[in-house]
Amino acid sequence: MTGSRMRRLTAVIICGLIGSYACPEPQNATTTTTSAEVVVAVVSPTNSALSTTTTQPVTSLAEAVTTTTALDNTATATLHNKVVIDNTLPSGTNPLANNIENVTWLGYQIANNSCSHRDLGFAGKLGGKWYSIFGDTLWAAPGVTDMFLDPPGFHGMVRDSISLLTDDPLTVVDLHLNDDEPVPHQLQFVPFNEEWGETNQYGFGGTSLCEVDEETGMGVLYYLVVSFQCSCEGSYCADGRQNGNESLGLIGAGVARVELIDEVPTVTHRYGSQGWWWDSKKYARYGDQIAYRDENSEYIYIWGGPPDYIKGWSTINYHYLARVKAKKAFDLGAYEYYWGKQKGWRKQVLDRFDTETSVMWGSGQGQVHWSEYWGCYLLVHLGIAGGAVFIRTADNLEGPWTPDVQIFQAMPIDDGLVYAGVAHPYLDETGKTLVVSYTNNNHIEVLRVEFA
């Protein structure tokens, strides 16, 4: 097993974890491909009691139209305005189009006090400082300080980690270090709990840290608990055993409380009787794709992919939205779920996954922020394959989102996966420039975008 094969394996795990970001599946997606089920609403403008909503399985927009027409034939004469509701279609104009002045590839983001290969690195603010939350963190070999000089092999790993971001977008300071000498490595940020059956074969798809209380430096971390069943018969396992075979099981999405202990953000509590709240067998994986502390309201918004039973390249790439007032982030009962533009926010947990209840399609994991410069929200993401870096915009977090503008095309390192867009808006609060990072085969690459 070589180092690069090990890293590739980890990337593939993440690929499964995050839906289909960069999975090498056939990509014939066009705007005519809709979800496997389309909601067909037959609306009476004069008598709402006569209106019906039916869910029909379809494979294309053309089929959806046919289905709608068939329903029309059975509807009474008073019912009309048949609509295939798709709240995910891009809408409006992206103000960034033709307004990207300059994009500079700055280099790799590295830690100045440790050495690992890793992914994600979503930026979140706590008590006035910014931190990045990484996913799988593969330690470099003992004593190695330059990840490009890391010899092949598996040298240990944790499933997530946290670092302090600095004024230099290429430098982070790793936190929660172990005692390895001469170079320490990071400890896991969200702890496993053996009482819940968790082992080091469990992963945590961590997204952003969102501030709950600035005074005390308390935050909430959203994550997805995943189990890797290791049968050790196929290729190899993430814990370094050879001839293993990992298969992935999504368990549930949850939250942890993060507090400053000795000025270092530390997970002090995981919520839910099993350490998660939203069962991935039934509900969206809230927070797994994007988590954002809205700068213009009291809310935290969390986006996630559909539950595990939803299959199919197109359907798993829809995003579902929930929100909570930041101060209530640890109270499951305070969350609200978005049922689509027509039904709005509800206390009832969303259990219908279609183009009406979804807010957008096809961004994979990314990061949202409010741009002073553009006067709207920007979502930095890498789509679901291909290594292109995109930004889409919206006036409201519920959408609709504009079409994407591509700002960069990354070159995959060793044919690895490129995914997970991160925004670093704190580096230029005017928003005239924006630093963006993303994962390229377990290296974090950094760009600076200058807007016209």
Interaction site with ligand NAG (CB under 6 A): 28, 102, 104, 112-113, 166, 171, 173, 231, 234, 245, 247
CB 314, min distance to ligand NAG, A: 12
The span from the CA of 449 to the CA of 283, in Å, is 36
Q: Would you say 53 or 171 has its CB closer to ligand NAG?
A: 171
The residue (of 249 and 412) whose beta carbon lies closer to ligand NAG is: 249
Q: Which CB atom, from 128 or from 333, has the smaller least distance to ligand NAG? A: 128
Instruction: Provide the minimum distance between the beta carbon of 444 and ligand NAG in the complex, in angstroms, as a whole number.
Output: 16
Question: Which long-range contacts (C-beta less than 8 Å, at least 24 apart) are formed by 389-394?
Answer: 389/421, 389/436, 389/438, 389/447, 390/363, 390/421, 391/94, 391/96, 392/90, 392/94, 392/360, 392/363, 393/94, 393/95, 393/96
C-beta atoms surrounding 429 within 10 Å: 9
Instruction: Give the nearer residue to ligand NAG in terms of CB position, either 112 or 406.
Output: 112
Strand partners, 206: 223
Nearer to ligand NAG, 28 or 74 (CB): 28
The number of beta carbons lying within 10 Å of the beta carbon of residue 406 is: 14
Residue 184 Cβ, how far from ligand NAG at the closest point, in Å? 11
Smallest gap from residue 9 Cβ to ligand NAG (A): 11
Residue 21: CB minimum distance to ligand NAG, A = 19
Q: Which is nearer to ligand NAG, 197 or 234 (CB)?
A: 234
Please check whether residue 207 is in contact with residue 216, taking contact to mean a CB–CB distance below 8 angstroms: no
Smaller CB separation from ligand NAG, 168 or 414: 168
- The two tokens of residue 103 are 């994009």
| Nearest distance in Å: CB 6, ligand NAG | 16
Q: How far is residue 254's CA from residue 190's CA, in Å, rounded to a whole number?
A: 11
| Residue with smallest beta-carbon separation from ligand NAG | 234
Q: Which CB, 166 or 342, lies closer to ligand NAG? A: 166
Distance, in Å, from the CA atom of 396 to the CA atom of 404, rounded to the nearest integer, reads 16
Nearest distance in Å: CB 161, ligand NAG? 16
If the CB atoms of residues 49 and 452 are measured against ligand NAG, the closer one turns out to be 452
Rounded to whole angstroms, the Cα distance separating 102 from 400 reads 27
Judged by beta carbon, residue 32 or residue 200, the one nearer ligand NAG is 32
Q: Which two tokens stand for residue 377?
A: 């929200």
CB of 235 to ligand NAG, least distance (A): 6
Burial class (CB in 10 A: 0-12, 13-18, 19+), 83: middle
Neighbours of 372 (CB within 10 A): 13
Distances (CA, A) of 230 to 22, 217, 372, 405: 23, 38, 47, 40
**CB of 104: closest distance to ligand NAG in angstroms?**
4
Encoded tokens for 36: 């496997």
Least Å distance, CB 164 to ligand NAG, is 7
Q: Which is nearer to ligand NAG, 28 or 48 (CB)?
A: 28
140, two tokens: 């470099």
Residue 180 structure tokens: 């390895």
- Name the minimum Å distance from CB 166 to ligand NAG: 5
Tokens for 119, please give them: 């992914």
What DSSP assignment string belongs to 243-265?
Answer: S--EEEEEEEEEEEEEEEETTEE
Backbone angles phi and psi of 99, in degrees to 5: -120, 25
**Dist. CA 139–CA 147, nearest whole Å:** 9
Is 108 in contact with 445 (CB distance < 8 Å)?
A: yes
Of the pair 55, 102, the CB lying nearest ligand NAG is at 102
82 closest CA partner among 92, 91, 73: 73
Nearest distance, CB of residue 30 and ligand NAG, angstroms = 8
